[in-house]
Structures are given as C-alpha cells and as structure tokens.
Structure 1
C-alpha cells in the first residue's frame, strides 16, 4: 500500500447540464491518495489518510499536484516522426507526409521501434490513455498493443482501413479490412487493458463496400469503439459529397453503415450542419476536438458552444502528427485560443474536464479512468508547476488550481510532469529520466 501526499484535483462525478465545472471539481489542498496494487483505495486530506493507513509507504510531493492520468482521444502513432513538417493543408498533408511515413510500417521492426518512442512521449507528457490510429498493416497495430501491454497501459487502437484514394501499397480491400480487423479484435479487445477501435481513416479512402463490411463488424462487436475523421476541411467535405452523392451529408456516410453510435469517436467535426450536430447528440457519439492540428493545417475553429447545445460529447485530443505537441496541457492552451476567436473562452476547469473525466464519460470508461475515485485504476500524474524561474514567478506558492492549470497550459511543457503512474506503477520519472519501457 502506498500513500501519496500532494494537492489533489479531479472530478469525482460527470458534469451535468444543471451544474458548472467549478461545482463538480474536487480540490484537496495537502491531500492524500492511497493505492494498493493496481487500484486507488482512497483520497482525502493527508492527515486523515495517514491516520487511516499508517503503514502505507509515503511518497511526499507536498508542493505538487496529483491529477488523473490525461486522456488523448485522437492521435496517429505512425505519424510520430512526421510531426512538425512544413506547410500543408489536410489533403496535401496526407499525400506528402502521412502516406510516405506510413509505408514504412510494413516493417514490424520499424513499427516496434516507433511504438516505443510514441508511448514514451505519452508518458513524458502525462498521457495515460490514448485513442490511436495505427497504419493499414496488421503488424503495426500488434506492435502498439504489445508495447502498451508491457506496462499495462490503457490503449484504444485500430488498424486503419483504406481501399481507394491512397497509394496502392497502403490499400486493403473490403474483405481483408473486415477479416484483419476481426482478427485484431479477437486478439486484443478487452485483453488486459487493450480495447479495439474499428478504424476507417475517413470516408474518401473507403469505398461503400468497405464501409459496409466495417459496419457489419461494428454490429457484430457491439462494445468495440469506432474512430475516424469527420468534416475537418472544406475541400475534404466537397470531396466526400462528390464520392457519396446519395448521402445527405458527411456524417450520413458513416450513419448509413451503423458507424454512428455510442463509443464512436469522430476527429474534428469543424464544419457540421445543424442536422449533423443533432444526430451526434442523439447517437451518444463523441467529437475529438483537436485544436493544435486544426490551427496548424488551417482547418477551422471548433464550435464548442454548439456541441454543448446539442449534448454532444467532446474530448480533447492532440492529433499528432498534424497536431504539434504530445502535451494535453498545450492542447488545452490552443483550445483556449480557438475559443477566444469564437468569443467564448473555455474556462480552465472545463479544459481539465475534457481531458480527464469528460473524456472518460464520453468513452464509457469512467469506472476505470479519468478520475481518482476508489476502485478505479491507479493511473495518475504528479505535476510540479513551479519547475523553473519563470514558472516560480508566474505561479504563486498557494495559487488555486484553475490558475495553476491555465498557466501550465499557456507557458508549460513536459517539464511540469514529474511522474506518470500507470496501473499502480511509476512508468516515467523525470528526475531519473526513467521509463518503464526499456
């Protein structure tokens, strides 16, 4: 049994329409978090936790913060090495950077190498759960799940499916997409902490036959996730309209094949019609808000207010590699800037919710991750906000959490993450530059 002493912030319950995020957050100054094995046992004041668990091994981080592990709801691990490539919008980005990079993942050895680097970047930035696009290759997906399993990390991932409008050596077909995905589902879904996501890259790279095959798979495996892209770029939307002239809109392309449902996560959703907003809310689906990539590719400004009005789940995401940082803190920083341009700035407490409990609720995983409740998995991070002279100047010793979180999101980086714990094990320690993955 282990007892961690620090300030604590988390959301014990989901936010509801009748409450504000400030009302829902639990903040404990000089708090105590008790874990045993892989699970959280209790949280409370340090004095009360010390009294109740006097024999627990003490980890004293008195001037730091304990937060739930961060959840990144949309990113691409094959694009780890193409991050920060210059100057394209979505469709040319795919052609010039994404597809050439993903061809390398035909090599299992290359996939294993990048999977290790990718997971290390997540750990270093305090991300303990990722919703991850693999490449079209089965071995690429296997490499990621295998690497995550070594540290008992919660990963939701899937083999990308594409049978047109992409290089020939990155294409599968409707039959192989369905069969390969089924093999991966049987092997990995709910094995340990792994979960599978049926993953058509986006509508233009899947024929109607392939989407139908994947829809059959989604109907067969009702608890798997679905992840894809939706209405990111105006040229993309026009292309979808030309490819699927009978569909009433971009979302309807997926809806026709039973891919719009709970646990379906759609990246971006910037340019949506009122009918599409309404349908997403009705379907209990989720939009992954990817502000850094939306700004980097010039795609547009996400409309969080309309998402709220339609009761659409929203979760923050980096979208690496079009996204420019693995840091979920920086991701909220850019989300704040996007919301400023829409004249509706996102409060830092809500930003924190969208990468912890809010994401977990959207994905139906809040009984396991996203909070620090008893009997959830011990995925948490130790954050040291005042890590250099500027941060010491900006963040006062007794600053409230909203100010700490906001300053870190605008000024901070991975140096704020002192430790990342997954399943009750320290998987990253900044002082020792130690990763659980060798």
Structure 2
C-alpha cells in the first residue's frame, strides 16, 4: 500500500480523546511471570491527547470540549518500535534457499545497488515507511544502503509522517560489489553532512551505520568510532555474531581481536546508544561487556529461523534486548508475527517467553534501550501520541479462542500468537491518524 501524506492523515483537533482497552508497562516484567505487576491494563478507558502528546488517562468520559474517537472493545497499545530493519530489502523478502553470507551476495547486495538512484531511493522509502505503519510500527532503527541519497530519502519520508526514525548511511569499503563500496574520506564527509542536516531535527536521529565488520576496513571502523566519540548523542547500528560462518570469517579478518564484538568495542562502537542485531553466537565475556556498556541486542527471531542462523539466548541475557523484524532476512514487518516467532525460538531452547516480555521488548523496553523512554513506548502523560488500535481477534478461529480466554495474559498471548497486521484498526503518529 502506498499513498500520499495528505491521504494518510486527518486533520486532528488540538484536543481529542481515544477510548479503548489501554495496555502498556510501568517497568520490565520478570522472565516467566504471567502475573507481572509491571503490566498496566485499563479496560474501557480514555486517553486524552493534545497537540500530538498524551495529556491524560481516565475512566470517565471526557467532556464536550474533547473530540472523541470511540474504539471501545479494542486493544490500545503504544506504537511498536522495530530496532533493526532494512529499507531496501523489501524486494528480496522471502528469497529461497541460502544462509546469511550467500544470501547477501545472491539477493541483498544486488537489490541495494538500485538505491544509488535518488528516484528509486525516494520511492523505496515511501513504500517502506507506509508498510511499517500498516504493521503497527511507528518508530524504527533502519538500515538504508551505502548511498547517501537512501538515508536522505528515509529522513525526509519519516519527517513527512512525523515518525521517530534512527538511520544513517551504511559504511562499506570492502568485500562488497561495485556500486556498494564507499571510501573512508567520502563516507566521513557524507556522515557529517547528514548529521548536520538531520540529527536531532524533529524526530530524526542519526546512527553511525556499520554494515558488519567484514565489509569495513580497520580504517573505516576507526573513523566510525571517532564519530561516536565526538558526539555522544549519535546512535550506532550494526550486525554481530549472527551466523557461525560469519563469526569464523571475522576471526580470520581480525586475528588480533578477542571476539567479533571486540572488533567493535576496541574502536569505541559499543556504547549505550549502540544497537547490535542478532548476537546469537556471543560468549559470556561479550555478554557482560554489552551489559556494562549499556548497549542493546536487537533480537530478530523471524530472520534467525528463516536463515537458520541459530537460537538466541534471551532468558539469560544480562543486557538490553529489543525486538526487530530484520526484513528482508525476516519474513514479516509485523512485530506481532515476530513475537510469535520469538516464542518458538525460546521454546526450542527449553524456555517459555511470556506475552509480557515479548510485548515489552517491542514497546517500553525498546524505547528505554534507545534512551527514548520519555517520548515513545508507552501510554503515559507527556509521551508522544504514537498509538495503535487492534482488534482482539479477527476470523472465526481467533474469535473462538478469544471468547474462552480466562485471564489477561491468556488473552494477550492468544492475540500475540494469532494476530497480525490485519488486526490493526487504526494507527496514530504524534496524534495524527496514518492508517
């Protein structure tokens, strides 16, 4: 689905109220706790919204000075936060038959070459951002391509939709095909220009974006680390320890590094605004380092299953864990579907993932790991009115299951397992209806 910004939005009044079953979190739920007190659920309540922010939450119907939107009987959640997703990879989603390294060469890199064209980058960003919104995702940490124009298109498209977006030009100066390599000097210039024009402007933020260690020379990694050290407000995003063959390749390329993660850590890329995707094949020292530095791992369950990368150890993670789709390695932009896949990953490890832990990782947990908890991830006074309204059940199977749910976790878990983007009834970004 693609449509213009004018078609997507409505002229929201300055003061309006939304009715529904409100669910968010006041803290992180404990692993395995289905009765978590961190869950805040207010059935049939009203959210009061003024100038794009939440200003109240109440049971009583607001007075006639508020324009009312009635979603009674529907589930109201904060907009989802996808902490690792690739804009140019919509064209290669559901590609058959390979593991990570071959998949990159066969499918991903050829698709990304097309984004050198500004028109293609703009069109790709429009389709991608609209697809996020129709999946209930209102904020995202996004990989564009090595081309500066692809990052510009994302920043501009997100600003037009008032979305919270973290992105930055991808850094790759080796082990990539013609048309997808940069060089250290020009890449640094491009990053600085993008930071000056977009970082901290509106709801945009810049991420120093290292594709992964094998596609950057030590000189480029050092440059990336210098950017992070020069401005502590910058984010950093990359991949780490996704696949065993990848880990072995990194060890060959960086024989002096203690581990894959150490390649990043020793140049200053592991810090409290670092988002590292996957993190499956980390040892105990790496996991402690991530916790000590305040970094987060973006768990990509759909992608890990589809590419056969491995089973992420979530229950024992001492560091921040957020949820991500990793499209196109992942098979859906829907974070609900990824919650369902995350449950299956943990089940294969002999663990049980609650709906609360999964949902928290896609909302408040992700927001706090990004240091954006005051703005996104919840339904509290002062936060942006990034809100999604969901049908509890769609279709005869889900409706029958929902009808016999005995308590709240059972009902939400069934929704998490059976729902998808078709359950989305409405999506509001900064108070404006977008879906």
Give TM-score scaled by structure 2 length: 0.94
Tell me the distance in 1 between the aligned counterparts of 2:184 and 2:149. 18
* Distance change >3 Å, CA 108–CA 381, structure 1 → 2: same
Instruction: Find 2:257's aligned residue among 247, 253, 263.
Output: 247
The reply on whether 1:368 has 2:384 as its aligned counterpart is no
Instruction: Name the Cα RMSD after superposition.
Output: 1.5
The reply on whether 1:211 has 2:225 as its aligned counterpart is no
Tell me the distance in 2 between the aligned counterparts of 1:165 and 1:398. 52
Tell me the distance in 1 between the aligned counterparts of 2:380 and 2:392. 23
The answer for unaligned runs of 5 or more in structure 1 is 429-438
- Secondary structure class of the residue paired with 1:364: coil
The answer to whether the 8 Å contact 1:14/1:361 transfers is no
Tell me the distance in 2 between the aligned counterparts of 1:373 and 1:178. 39
Tell me the distance in 2 between the aligned counterparts of 1:144 and 1:404. 36
The reply on whether 1:393 has 2:403 as its aligned counterpart is no
Return the offset for 1:407: 1.9
Tell me the distance in 1 between the aligned counterparts of 2:121 and 2:170. 14
Instruction: Find 2:362's aligned residue among 355, 368, 390.
Output: 355
What is the 5 A alignment of 1:112-127? Answer: 112-127=122-137
The reply on whether 1:303 has 2:310 as its aligned counterpart is no
Tell me the distance in 2 between the aligned counterparts of 1:403 and 1:68. 20
What is the 5 A alignment of 1:222-241? Answer: 222-241=232-251
What is the 5 A alignment of 1:257-276? Answer: 257-276=267-286
- Secondary structure class of the residue paired with 1:374: coil
Residue deviations 1:378-425, cap 9 Å, x none?
Answer: 001011122222221121287644233322322222111111100110
* Distance change >3 Å, CA 122–CA 400, structure 1 → 2: farther
What is the 5 A alignment of 1:73-92? Answer: 73-92=83-102
The answer to whether the 8 Å contact 1:9/1:401 transfers is no
2:8 paired residue number: none
Return the offset for 1:178: 1.5
1:413 paired residue number: 420
Give TM-score scaled by structure 1 length: 0.93
What is the 5 A alignment of 1:156-195? Answer: 156-195=166-205
Instruction: Find 1:39's aligned residue among 22, 42, 53.
Output: 53
Tell me the distance in 1 between the aligned counterparts of 2:141 and 2:165. 6
* Distance change >3 Å, CA 365–CA 256, structure 1 → 2: same
- Secondary structure class of the residue paired with 1:267: strand
Residue deviations 1:126-183, cap 9 Å, x none?
Answer: 0000100010000011011111111111011111100000102110011122211111
The reply on whether 1:30 has 2:40 as its aligned counterpart is no
Return the offset for 1:372: 0.6
* Distance change >3 Å, CA 183–CA 21, structure 1 → 2: farther
- Secondary structure class of the residue paired with 2:21: strand
1:431 paired residue number: none
Instruction: Find 1:289's aligned residue among 290, 299, 320.
Output: 299
* Distance change >3 Å, CA 400–CA 176, structure 1 → 2: farther
The answer to whether the 8 Å contact 2:134/2:424 transfers is yes
The reply on whether 1:63 has 2:77 as its aligned counterpart is no
1:433 paired residue number: none
The answer to whether the 8 Å contact 1:9/1:66 transfers is yes
The answer to whether the 8 Å contact 2:16/2:69 transfers is yes
Return the offset for 1:247: 0.4
* Distance change >3 Å, CA 341–CA 14, structure 1 → 2: closer
The answer to whether the 8 Å contact 2:34/2:356 transfers is no
2:82 paired residue number: 72
Tell me the distance in 1 between the aligned counterparts of 2:38 and 2:427. 24
Tell me the distance in 1 between the aligned counterparts of 2:71 and 2:410. 19
The answer to whether the 8 Å contact 2:29/2:356 transfers is no
Tell me the distance in 1 between the aligned counterparts of 2:272 and 2:132. 26
* Distance change >3 Å, CA 73–CA 399, structure 1 → 2: farther
1:3 paired residue number: 17
Tell me the distance in 1 between the aligned counterparts of 2:217 and 2:409. 46
The answer to whether the 8 Å contact 1:124/1:414 transfers is yes
- Secondary structure class of the residue paired with 1:330: helix
